Structure 1
Amino acid sequence: MNASNTFNAALPTTIPDYLERLRKSLAGADPALVQDALYDAEEYLRSELAENPGKSEAEVIAAVAGSYGAPDEVADIYRDTEVTVQTALRPPPPRPRESLLGRFFGVAAEPRTYAALFYMLLSLATGIFYFTWVVFGISFSAGMSVLIVGIPVLILYFGSVRILSLVEGRIVEVMLGERMPRRPLYSERGKPWLERIKDMFIDPRTWSTQLYFLLMLPLGVAYFVLAVIGLSLSLSLIVAPVALLFGASGYFELDGINLVMQHQPWAWPLVFIAGVLLLFCTLHVARAIGALHGQLAKHMLVKSAQYY
């Protein structure tokens, strides 16, 4: 009995206090994990509170502590689950390669390489859409601000930005392997509407997300051009000598210079090797861009713990 009273006394008495304790218990964890844990905890506690209208927040927290857990216990569960999930989802690690040639050519055996390459090609379409949406949303909201419906339009636009942020986060996590949030941005739903709207306006991630979407257009163009040029040029260098070897006529021209002529077979192996090397260099560039862009998306789309 005394142990039970001590346990209940140690529990937070309000949902915001519970969430604050959970956030502190998750200190040092991935910000995306913290966002998911806070959202899930608030969603669960407020649904329990709604189902028990005669109980206070303290009574609801005490009642669900045995099933859902205290903040420290929930934090430990999320840490353990994250390790398990990430281990299950992570592709098998490639066999360690000690030689320089092994590391150079081994990039072709890594699934993440092709996912990053596909992201580079996809980023042109997503970049155009994100850029258009932000420019249209800001301009339309600013134009409507002179009317009384301008504020609701702006709030809806900010809400759409947060939804698109989740969509982009899922794309980044699946293709680039960077852990991103799987739940919407945490906000204290017990606050008055005006305070929640104010928090949305002053939240740095509201603006950094829009900046990210604007940057996606030039980045998407650059990624797409690099991927297309790298793949098309390298594959052309590989295919042209093979085609000539099997009797194709003509020549291969680059910037006005005939690199492979029908009557210059001595150049065919050199061009073929150059194409292979360029292809693997393109794959390495794709891996590097994928890693860097994943960090950029994490920094600009995920709310750091210091802002909670």
Structure 2
Amino acid sequence: MNTPRTIAEYLEQLRAALRGADPALIQDALYDAEEHLRAELAEQPGRSEADMLAHVVGTYGAPEEVAEIYRDQEIKIQRALRPPPTPKRHSLAGRFFGVAADPRTWGAMFYMLLALATGIFYFVWAVTGVSLSAGFSVLIIGIPFIVLFLGTVRALSLIEGRIVEAMLGVRMPRRPPYPEQSAQSLMKRIGTMFSDARTWTTLFYMILMLPLGIVYFTLTVTLMSVSIAFIGAPVAYLFDDINDHITINWGVGAHVPGWGDAFLLCIIGIVLLFVTLHLVRALGHMQGQIAKHLLVSRTAA
């Protein structure tokens, strides 16, 4: 591959060398490379981009070398962060009950419970910001306010990415799409922010998180509560006097509830609990893919 003569060429070659890698990794690599190249160029104002890049290729590395370094580092980091692997279970019962031993299951459950709070915050922030932006658009402070608001939206996307990666195990960007120190003028950078599809997909994600958060929280709390209540049926029966006028019917005739009914409810509760854990883990995987598609820059792919 030819030696790049401009920063844009270097970044394009780096993107090509990382083709097929995780889009979040590509976004981080492009950010780091551009930030380093811009800093090198700023420190040597009398040097042309071509001369600076010729020097950088020998120190920072050629695009292919940098891409290989990032791939190797990513493998090491993911190995270090990955939870201990759960034993493979071949039986149906083992796979069904083994979900409780998967750390991602509990991370997803915590995310489902947290999603209501974050969903409300994101929704209020997005709707309030859009409303105020529309109202201020006729005033002189309109454009600065909109730029500030969109900047906070992009910052919140990085915070959400950290939450998703920590709890759901989905690789998310650790850097913004592009560094703050850029050769572009202020107006050009503002234009880039408005034209970047990720700005608007992130805003959509923040609004979408309210209904998703309500669904996640309601399903998780309701199913877990019912499961625990059913599991505790024998204990409730032990300490509670059953009115003789109360009857129950399992399809085999009405009768006064007894120990058999309590233990049957307990078994149903245990099964429902593990069904809930499977559902929570599936919802966590789905949420991770939603975040991946809406919060990661598509230009990095």
**CA offset digits 1:48-105 (Å, max 9, x no partner):** 2222233222222222322210111101111111111111211122111111100000
Alignment of 1:29-178 (within 5 A): 29-178=21-170
Say which SS state the counterpart of residue 221 (structure 2) adopts. Answer: helix
8 Å Cα contact 2:205-2:294 kept in structure 1: yes
Secondary structure of the 2:58 match is coil
Say if 1:250 and 1:262, in contact at 8 Å, map to a contact too: no
Selected match of 2:209 from 216, 228, 234: 216
Counting only pairs closer than 5 Å after superposition, residues 3-18 of structure 1 correspond to structure 2 as 10-18=2-10
> Cα–Cα, structure 1 residues 293 and 251, in superposed 2: closer, same or farther, change >3 Å?
farther
The answer to whether the 8 Å contact 1:34/1:305 transfers is no
1:222 maps to amino acid: V
Give the paired residue count.
Answer: 294
Quick one: distance in 1 between partners of 2:194 and 2:107? 35
**Aligned counterparts of 2:210 and 2:71: Cα–Cα separation in 1:** 36
1:13 deviation in Å? 1.7
Which of 257, 274, 283 in structure 1 is aligned with 2:277?
A: 283
- Contact 1:176–1:290, Cα closer than 8 Å, also in 2: yes
| Equivalent position to 2:239, from 248, 256, 270 | 248
CA deviations 1:273-301 (Å, max 9, x no partner) are 00100110110001000001100110111
8 A Cα contact 1:170 1:182, kept in partner: yes
Distance 2:6 2:266 in 1: 69
- Paired residue for 1:3? none
Contact 1:173–1:180 at 8 Å: present in 2 too?
yes
2:293 is aligned to 299
CA contact (8 A) 2:198 2:295 kept: yes
Deviations 1:180-206 (A, max 9, x none): 000011268222222221121121111
Higher relative contact order (CA 8 A, sep 6+): 2
Partner of 2:186: 193
Flag the 1:59–1:97 CA change in 2: closer, same or farther, 3 A.
same
Q: Is residue 14–residue 30 contact of structure 2 (8 Å, CA) maintained in 1?
A: yes
Structure 2: 5+ residue runs without aligned partners? Answer: none
TM-score by length of 2: 0.92
Report the aligned-residue RMSD.
Answer: 2.2
Instruction: Find 1:226's aligned residue among 214, 219, 228.
Output: 219
1:172–1:180 contact (8 Å) kept in structure 2: yes
What secondary structure, in the 3-state scheme, does the structure 2 residue paired with 1:97 have? coil
1:172, distance to aligned residue in structure 2 (A): 0.5
Distance 1:127 1:189 in 2: 33
TM-score, normalised via structure 1 length = 0.90
**Structure 1 pair 32–306 and aligned structure 2 pair: CA distance change class (3 A):** closer
Structure 2 counterpart SS, 1:128: helix
Distance across 2 between alignment mates of 1:132 and 1:262: 51
Q: Which sits farther off after the overlay, 128-137 or 206-215?
A: 206-215
Question: Matches of 2:118 and 2:23 in 1, distance apart?
Answer: 24
State the one-letter code of the partner of 1:249. D
The offset of 1:262, in angstroms, is 8.7
For structure 1, the 5+ residue unaligned runs are: 1-6
How far apart are 1:251 and its partner, in Å? 5.5
Query: In structure 2, how many angstroms separate the alpha carbons of the residues matched to 1:257 and 1:296?
Result: 47
Percent of pairs identical after alignment?
57
